[in-house]
Amino acid sequence: MTADTGDLPMIERPDAPDIWSAVARAADVFAMDPFLLGGIHLKSQAGPVRDAAIEILQSRISKQLPWLRMTPSIADDHLVDGYDLAATLAQRELVARSGMLSRAKGGILVIAMAERLTALQAALIAAAIDRREFAVLLLDEGLSDEAVHPCLLDRVALTLELSKGRLPLKPGDTASALAAPQETPREVAVPEPVMEACCALALALNRSSMRAPSHLLNVTRILAHLDGEATASTEALREAVGLVFGLTPIAAEDDSGENPESPDIPQLDDTAAESQPERNQAENLPHDLEDSEHAGADETIAVDILDAYLPEDVLQAAAAARGARGGASSGKRGPSQRSVSRGRRLAARPRPENGRSALDIVATLRAAVPWQTIRRTATASDAATDRPIAIRREDFRYTRFSAPSETLAIFAVDASGSSAHARLGEAKGAIETLLGQCYARRDAVALIVFRGAQAEIVLPPTRSLLRARRALVAMAGGGPTPLAGGLALARLLAGKAAERGQNAITILMTDGRANIALDGTAGRERAEADTRRMAAAFRLAGLSSVLVDTARRPREHAADLARAMGGEYLPLPAGRAQDLSLAVRSRMDRQSSNTRPI
């Protein structure tokens, strides 16, 4: 809240842009046509900065529109319309209960911890945004590999990233400086080159979705309208790029016209060259601005924008920040929590499994029916006697569902020189065979490779064969062995999988000889001490593992390592990749066979 923030120390970063005016601008743009724009993606940790930003948004938007807040912990059946069971039973007529999505109609749905939304919740919300039922404010606290589901990000036009701003928590001035206009921005003309730049920019920023250029165009038009312009200008587009892609604009350099070619943006150049041979370079794009009345018509729009953003390494920053939006998405999107309303039905039982179990009405009625006559005579004086059926607490039956638990196979492969020459090919063969089976069984696979100075997650957990195949092809061997680093990463992935309710099994393929320590320094002694430490941590976490000894002649220390990890030891005689995949398969089956009621 702004009231509290006055006490906080001022952290001045003179080079940082003023985030508050960006927030206020975004709010004004959004307020012009919230349902067209879909919503705002507010990326920030919870805290006074975010509270202040939300307050600005609220003060500028909320006048006409109701705000409704939800968290991903909402039960799926409360998201959509349904029946109010208690009221229905009490009043003997059907009492409808409108779900969260219906209640948000015509307003703003604030979604806290949006990165935790399940795929289902995201799909339901996305469909409602498409129907223009409401707009959303996505409060995204995602760190590193957590991201809001891409189907939502794709539909939301505005992005604000607060971490980049400075913290002079004084939003008041900027917020009141701008007066929100009332008209709708229909009469703003958008010159052809600006439209082209929208498309080219979205493509250059790796946003293949056709919604991205449309968002850019809409935001540009609204910005021009807010500034009282009749034609959308380069300036408006520049600002729109910042608001739509969540980039922090830096001051444009003086356009002296002589701009070197930008080899950093091959996509833009390529596509422009392909589609419009007469314009060989993106830089030439806006030279025909005849129809534009903008004063800076001779300026080159694309260069302008690229100037403003490229020095910040836009392509990489954007790809990293919004990677989840692109085609080759990675990272996890919310917990794949077990739903209490999906899966196969099991027999109903008298006690709810947890707070969110659904009442099984038919089973409840069935349980109550045999007692009706008895109850009626026993409670003759009861007011309830005129009810068609007397239901008591002990009659309630709750539905149970069972969903098969997923298995994640984490392959941690030693691709170091000592191991690689001997067995890397076979390890690849075994992984390929397993992958082929995983895809039919809906198991996920992750791949960690350790070689050289450090371990690396080559393939984050995925079910996509396409990505796995690419990762395997790109896998190279050689160099020293950072075994401890590999173990650390495997533990991280397995831990996360367990949090998501998956069964994880780590298949460690190594000869067990480490020579790189956790901090990346060489030295067999420290490396082995680190490895032992990581192995112990692995066992303490209770994670299951199989160590496949890839040494030409299996020796004692790989078996020792397996014992230290609390896992199984599996020596692999040369040339038996098929056996390996069979052995691992059977262990995975054992892992996933415990389909349990949820």
Partner 1 sequence: MPQTYPFSAIVGQYEMKRALLLAAIDPAIGGVLVLGDRGTGKSTAVRALAALLPPIKTVLGCRFNCDPAAPTVDCPDCQRNSNARLKIDKRPIPVIDLPLGASEDRVAGALDIEAALTQGKKTFQPGLLAAAHRGFLYVDEVNLLEDHLVDLLLDVAASGVNLVERDGLSLRHPARFVLVGSGNPEEGELRPQLLDRFGLSLDVTSPTDIAERIEVVKRRDAFERDPAQFLDSWARKDAALGKRILKARAELNEIAVGDEILEIAAGLAIKLGIDGSRGELTMMRAARALAAYEQRERVTPELLLAVAPSCLRHRLRRDPMDESGSSIRVERAIASISVAVA
Q: Show contacts with partner 1 in window 372-431 (CB under 8 A).
A: 388-389, 403
- Near partner 1 by CB under 8 A, which window of 161-169, 294-302, 336-344, 447-455? 336-344
CB of 444 to partner 1, least distance (A): 9
CA 303 to each of CA 277, 299, 308, 317: distance values in angstroms, whole numbers, following the listed order = 18, 8, 8, 19
- Separation between Cα atoms, residue 519 and residue 118, nearest integer Å: 36
Choose, by CB under 8 A, the member of 3, 180, 365, 384 that binds partner 1.
Answer: 365
- Contact (CB, 8 A) for 220 and 194: yes
CB nearer partner 1, residue 175 or residue 504:
504
Q: Is 156 a residue that touches partner 1 (CB under 8 A)?
A: no
Q: Which stretch binds partner 1 (CB under 8 A): 64-72, 148-156, 252-260, 475-483?
A: 148-156
Which one among 62, 248, 271, 284 touches partner 1, defined by CB under 8 A?
271
590 binds partner 1 (CB under 8 A): no
Contact letters for partner 1, residues 506-535 (x by CB under 8 A): ------------------------------
- Write the Ramachandran bin of 30: left for phi over 0, alpha for psi from -120 to 50, otherwise beta: alpha
* 108 membership: H or E segment, kind and range: strand 108-111
Nearer to partner 1, 388 or 542 (CB): 388
φ and ψ of 173, to 5 deg: -65, -50
- Looking up tokens 């109550």 gives 368
Q: Which two tokens stand for residue 88?
A: 């229905």
The whole-angstrom separation of Cα 362 and Cα 359 is 9
* Rounded distance between C-alpha atoms, residue 347 and residue 572, angstroms: 45
- Phi, psi for residue 404 in degrees, rounded to 5: -60, 140
Considering only the stretches 194-202, 250-258, 447-455, 557-565, report the one whose residues sit in contact with partner 1 under the rule CB under 8 A.
Answer: 194-202
Judged by CB under 8 A, which of 103, 170, 211, 585 binds partner 1?
Answer: 211
Residue 69: enclosing H or E segment and its boundaries?
Answer: strand 67-70
Which of 2, 21, 174, 214 is close enough to bind partner 1 by CB under 8 A? 214
Helices 211-226 and 192-204: crossing angle, nearest 10°? 130
- Residue 566: helix, strand or coil by DSSP? coil
Using the rule CB under 8 A, is 591 a contact of partner 1? no
Complex with partner 1: residue 53 or 188, whichever CB lies closer: 188
Please give the Cα distance from 94 to 467 (Å, whole number). 50
Question: DSSP label at 552?
Answer: S
In 416-551, which ranges are continuous DSSP H helix? 417-441, 465-473, 483-499, 524-540
Would you list the DSSP string of 28-45? HHHHH-HHHH-EEEEE--
Closest CA to 54 of 130, 141, 131: 141
Which residues, 174 to 193, sit near partner 1 by CB under 8 A? 186, 190
Min CB(316)–partner 1 separation in Å? 21
- Which residue of 345, 392, 421, 590 would you call a contact of partner 1, by CB under 8 A? 345
Rounded to an integer, what distance in angstroms lies between the CA atom of residue 590 and that of residue 163? 45
Determine which residue in the list 40, 100, 200, 514 makes contact with partner 1, applying CB under 8 A: 200
Rounded Cα–Cα distance for residues 104 and 115 (Å)? 20
Q: Convert 569-591 to b/e letters by CB count within 10 Å (16 or more is b).
A: bbebeeeebeebbebbbebbeeb
Smallest separation, CB 222 to partner 1 (Å): 12
| Residue whose CB is less far from partner 1, 217 or 507 | 217
121 binds partner 1 (CB under 8 A): yes
Q: Which stretch binds partner 1 (CB under 8 A): 174-182, 250-258, 458-466, 547-555?
A: 458-466
- Asked whether position 362 contacts partner 1 by CB under 8 A, the answer is yes
Complex with partner 1: residue 175 or 315, whichever CB lies closer:
315
Task: Give the Å distances, CA to CA, from 132 to 38, 58, 107, 181, 414.
Answer: 8, 20, 10, 22, 51
- Between 348 and 494, whose beta carbon lies closer to partner 1? 348
Q: Which is nearer to partner 1, 114 or 535 (CB)?
A: 114
* Complex with partner 1: residue 463 or 555, whichever CB lies closer: 463
Identify the residue among 9, 228, 327, 355 touching partner 1 (CB under 8 A). 327
Q: Smallest distance from the beta carbon of 577 to partner 1, in angstroms?
A: 13
Task: From residue 570, give the alpha-carbon distance in Å to each of 226, 560, 584.
Answer: 68, 12, 10
442 touches partner 1 (CB under 8 A):
yes
Q: Which stretch binds partner 1 (CB under 8 A): 38-46, 312-320, 466-474, 499-507?
A: 466-474
Q: Min. distance of Cβ 502 from partner 1 in angstroms?
A: 14
Which residue stretch of 12-20, 24-32, 119-127, 448-456 sits at the interface with partner 1 (rule: CB under 8 A)? 119-127
Of residues 33 through 92, those in contact with partner 1 by CB under 8 A are 36, 76, 83, 88-89, 92
Judged by CB under 8 A, the residue of 1, 8, 87, 328 near partner 1 is: 328
Three-state SS for 76? helix
Comparing CB distances to partner 1, the nearer of 370 and 542 is: 370
Residues in the chain: 598
